[in-house]
Amino acid sequence: MAGTRFHLLSTFSRQFSTLNNVSTVQPKLRIDEIRGRRMAIFDKEYKRQQALIPRLEKIEVTYEELNDEKVTLIMNKGISTPYNCAQHINEQLLKRSVVAEVNGEVWDMHRAITTDCTLKLLHMKPEDLHQATLVNKAFWRSCSFLLGAVVESTFQDEISVCLHSFPPANVRSGSFVYDVQLNLKDWVPSQNDLRQIAAAFQKFVRQDHIFQRLDVDSSVALKMFEDNAFKTEQIPHIATKSSTGRSITVYRVGDHIDISRGPMIASSSLVGRCSIPAIHKLNSKLYRFQGVALPSEIHINHFAFGILESRARKLAKSCKDT
**Calculated CA dihedral for residues 265, 267, 269, 270, nearest 10 degrees:** -20
261 burial (CB, 10 Å; 0-12 / 13-18 / 19+) is middle
Helix (H) or strand (E) holding 117: strand 117-122
264 burial (CB, 10 Å; 0-12 / 13-18 / 19+) is buried
Strand partners, 290: 177, 278
Task: Determine the pLDDT at residue 274.
Answer: 96
Task: Determine the pLDDT at residue 26.
Answer: 42
Helix (H) or strand (E) holding 71: strand 70-76
Distance (Å, rounded) from C-alpha 183 to C-alpha 26? 9
172 DSSP assignment: G
Strand partners, 301: none
Of 298, 299, 302, 322, residue with least CA distance to 310: 302
Q: Do β-strands 256-259 and 58-64 pair in parallel, antiparallel, or remain unpaired?
A: unpaired
Task: Determine the pLDDT at residue 12.
Answer: 39
Distance (Å, rounded) from C-alpha 88 to C-alpha 61? 12
- State phi, psi for 138 to the nearest 5 degrees: -65, -40
Strands (E) across 134-285 are located at: 161-165, 176-182, 212-217, 247-253, 256-259, 271-281
Q: What is residue 64's three-state secondary structure?
A: strand
Q: How far is CA 103 from the centre of its chain?
A: 24
Task: Determine the pLDDT at residue 66.
Answer: 74
Q: CA angle, 52 as apex, 48 and 53 as ends, to 5°?
A: 125
Task: Determine the pLDDT at residue 158.
Answer: 78
3-state helix, strand, coil in the chain (%, to 5): 35, 25, 40
Task: Determine the pLDDT at residue 184.
Answer: 85
| Sheet strand arrangement including 212-217 | 212-217, 247-253, 256-259
Distance (Å, rounded) from C-alpha 277 to C-alpha 314? 9
Distance (Å, rounded) from C-alpha 317 to C-alpha 67? 40
Q: Do β-strands 117-122 and 99-102 pair in parallel, antiparallel, or remain unpaired?
A: antiparallel
Q: How far is CA 288 from the centre of its chain?
A: 16
Q: What is the pLDDT along the chain (322 residues), one digit of tens a residue?
A: 333 333 444 333 334 555 554 444 444 468 889 999 999 999 999 999 999 988 899 999 999 987 778 999 999 999 999 999 999 999 999 999 999 999 999 999 999 999 999 999 999 988 888 899 999 999 999 999 999 999 999 987 778 899 999 988 677 788 999 999 998 878 899 999 999 999 999 999 999 999 999 999 999 999 999 999 999 999 999 999 999 999 999 999 999 999 999 999 999 999 999 999 999 999 888 999 999 999 999 999 999 999 999 999 999 875 444 4
Task: Determine the pLDDT at residue 233.
Answer: 97
Per the CB < 8 A criterion, the answer to whether 286 and 164 are in contact is yes
Count the Cβ atoms, other than its own, within 10 Å of residue 212: 17
Q: List the domains of the chain with CATH numbers.
A: 58-123 (3.10.20.30), 140-310 (3.30.980.10)
Task: Determine the pLDDT at residue 11.
Answer: 36
